[in-house]
């Protein structure tokens, strides 16, 4: 959970190395639904670095504020419209509305100008860019054009490598001209090596972390079941409603699950470009609002009780039609830390976190029948269910807690 300690006072500690976090994913205001992992990592680094964050401005956010020993700067790139390029997932917005391409040059140019000003004004020594495009591009351009001594470390979260394949030549150039790159899974590391990058570019596998005290089995809350009328088995999905999440395969698995366990309910927490399509699918199956409930997006600090109360968390992620796929979803770690059994597909990256029938269940991609068969089998086999459940939290608590993860990043980011 992030505590929004907001202040207008400028943060300054000249005894620490100055680190600029360049990102397109940072909370815009209190209880924003943006995944908070960049915020949490930066906050955990603030004890060792002077943290400056550069992110884009959204309608209603502040262009400058201080919070949790971090100085947050947001640049404006367009008018205060209701729908802009960065209101949601950038790539999804561009696919849906071609007009938004007009904003891209302004976004890149004004973002770069803001980067130049921040680095020069504060004499930044290190730039930590989250996502290769666009943050990594801007960081490497600055290094090449203005200061070859500034250290640039890029962190890839998945979609920036697996997607946008027509820009692989640009990704290769960016990685070859940075000082190091971190990735959230071994599958991503393999994919980056396929680009043909230099052998001397260090690639470190460091996942995003979680607050294992916040995401805990003791957050179980019976009122969640009462709120949604859950009288039987409680299935849960949390994430963006986009193609690569594979939620339609989970929805299509529900009729067979309901034949065996009629009182089962599936809660789908999240929003995204596929929500309307998925709701329509649930309606066609006659399950919308009854056996399948869409809650919309919820703030991260409100999620622990859902994970801890659910019987199963199902992550049916796939390789999308464009080749895009996830790196290592933070929601999987949050579910396991909460003591919830995880179902995850056979994507290579998921092997970093789940062992089949040890701390979770592996399911086939794009296979609703495999999902329903394995859910039914586990729910019928109480011995196996509780054997797996006892291994969920221990499998992540010592590997993915923010204290462990931030320590790994500190070693990479030091001058």
pLDDT tens digits, one per residue of 183-204: 999 999 999 999 999 999 999 9
Query: Between the CA of residue 347 and those of 278, 290, 315, 360, 362, what are the distances in Å?
Result: 22, 31, 11, 14, 9
Q: Is the pLDDT of residue 346 over 50?
A: yes
**Which has more pLDDT, 68 or 248?**
248
**Which has more pLDDT, 101 or 81?**
101
Rounded CA Rg of the chain: 21
Taking the CB of residue 189, how many other CB atoms lie within 10 A of it?
A: 18
Residue 378: phi and psi, rounded to 5, are -70, -40
pLDDT digits (tens, 9 = 90+) for 283-331: 999 999 999 999 999 989 999 999 999 999 999 999 998 888 888 899 9
At residue 86 the predicted structure's pLDDT band, cuts being 50, 70 and 90, is confident
Q: Is the pLDDT of residue 162 over 90?
A: no
pLDDT digits (tens, 9 = 90+) for 347-374: 999 999 999 999 999 999 999 999 999 9
At residue 224 the predicted structure's pLDDT band, cuts being 50, 70 and 90, is very high
pLDDT value of residue 165: 79
**Which has more pLDDT, 414 or 304?**
304
pLDDT value of residue 82: 65
Alpha helices in 194-233 (DSSP H): 222-228
**Which has more pLDDT, 244 or 92?**
244
Q: Is the pLDDT of residue 8 over 60?
A: no
pLDDT value of residue 198: 92
At residue 12 the predicted structure's pLDDT band, cuts being 50, 70 and 90, is low
Token pair of 250 as six digits: 């989970």
Considering the chain, what is the average pLDDT of its residues? 92
Q: Is the pLDDT of residue 2 over 50?
A: no
Query: Between the CA of residue 126 and those of 108, 180, 204, 407, what are the distances in Å?
Result: 20, 11, 17, 17
pLDDT value of residue 307: 98
Q: Is the pLDDT of residue 91 over 80?
A: no
At residue 10 the predicted structure's pLDDT band, cuts being 50, 70 and 90, is low
Mode of pairing for the β-strands spanning 64-67 and 70-75? antiparallel
Share of the chain above pLDDT 70, in %: 96
Q: Please measure the distance between the N-terminal and C-terminal CA atoms of the chain and give it in whole angstroms.
A: 29
Q: With beta carbons less than 8 A apart as the criterion, state whether 266 and 372 touch.
A: no
At residue 3 the predicted structure's pLDDT band, cuts being 50, 70 and 90, is very low
At residue 1 the predicted structure's pLDDT band, cuts being 50, 70 and 90, is very low
pLDDT digits (tens, 9 = 90+) for 127-161: 999 999 899 999 999 999 999 999 999 999 988 88
Query: Between the CA of residue 273 and those of 29, 83, 89, 245, 411, what are the distances in Å?
Result: 22, 13, 9, 11, 38
pLDDT value of residue 158: 85
Which residue carries 């730039």 as its tokens?
127
pLDDT digits (tens, 9 = 90+) for 27-48: 887 777 788 899 999 999 999 9
CA 86, CA 24: separation in Å to the nearest integer?
8
pLDDT value of residue 13: 53
pLDDT value of residue 84: 84
Share of the chain above pLDDT 90, in %: 79
Q: Is the pLDDT of residue 408 over 80?
A: yes
CA 119, CA 111: separation in Å to the nearest integer?
12
pLDDT value of residue 380: 97
Q: Is the pLDDT of residue 387 over 50?
A: yes
């Amino acid at each position: 959970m992030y505590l929004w300690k907001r202040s207008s006072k400028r943060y300054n500690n000249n005894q620490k190395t100055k680190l600029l976090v360049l990102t397109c994913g940072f909370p815009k205001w209190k209880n924003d639904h943006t995944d908070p992992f960049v915020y949490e990592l930066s906050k955990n680094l603030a004890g060792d670095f002077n943290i400056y964050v550069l992110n884009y401005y959204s309608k209603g956010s502040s262009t400058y504020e201080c919070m949790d020993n971090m100085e947050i700067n947001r640049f404006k790139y367009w008018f205060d419209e209701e729908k802009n390029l960065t209101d949601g997932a950038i790539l999804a917005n561009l696919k849906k509305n071609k007009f938004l391409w007009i904003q891209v040059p302004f976004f890149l140019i004004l973002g770069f100008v803001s980067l130049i000003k921040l680095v020069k004004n504060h004499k930044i020594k290190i730039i930590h860019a989250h996502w290769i495009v666009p943050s990594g591009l801007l960081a490497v351009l600055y290094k090449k054009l203005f200061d070859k001594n500034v250290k640039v470390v890029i962190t890839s979260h998945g979609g920036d490598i697996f997607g946008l394949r027509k820009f692989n030549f640009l990704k290769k150039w960016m990685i070859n001209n940075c000082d190091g790159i971190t990735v959230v899974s071994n599958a991503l590391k393999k994919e980056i090596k396929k680009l043909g990058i230099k052998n001397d570019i260090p690639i470190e596998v460091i996942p995003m972390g979680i607050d294992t005290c916040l995401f805990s089995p003791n957050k179980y809350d019976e009122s969640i079941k009462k709120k949604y009328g859950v009288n039987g088995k409680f299935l849960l999905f949390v994430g963006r409603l986009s193609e690569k999440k594979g939620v339609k395969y989970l929805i299509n698995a529900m009729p067979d699950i309901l034949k065996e366990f009629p009182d089962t309910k599936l809660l789908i927490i999240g929003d995204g470009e596929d929500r309307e399509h998925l709701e329509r699918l649930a309606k066609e199956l006659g399950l919308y609002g009854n056996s399948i409930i869409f809650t919309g997006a919820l703030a991260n600090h409100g999620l622990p009780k859902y994970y801890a109360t659910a019987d199963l968390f199902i992550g049916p992620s796939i390789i999308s039609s464009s080749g895009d796929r996830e790196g290592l979803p933070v929601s999987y770690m949050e579910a396991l830390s909460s003591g919830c059994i995880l179902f995850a597909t056979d994507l290579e990256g998921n092997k970093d976190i789940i062992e089949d029938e040890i701390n979770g269940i592996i399911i086939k991609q794009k296979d609703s029948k495999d999902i329903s068969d394995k859910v039914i089998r586990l729910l019928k086999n109480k011995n196996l269910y509780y054997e797996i459940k006892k291994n969920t939290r221990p499998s992540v608590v010592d590997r993915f807690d923010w204290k462990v993860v931030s320590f790994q990043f500190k070693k990479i980011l030091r001058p």
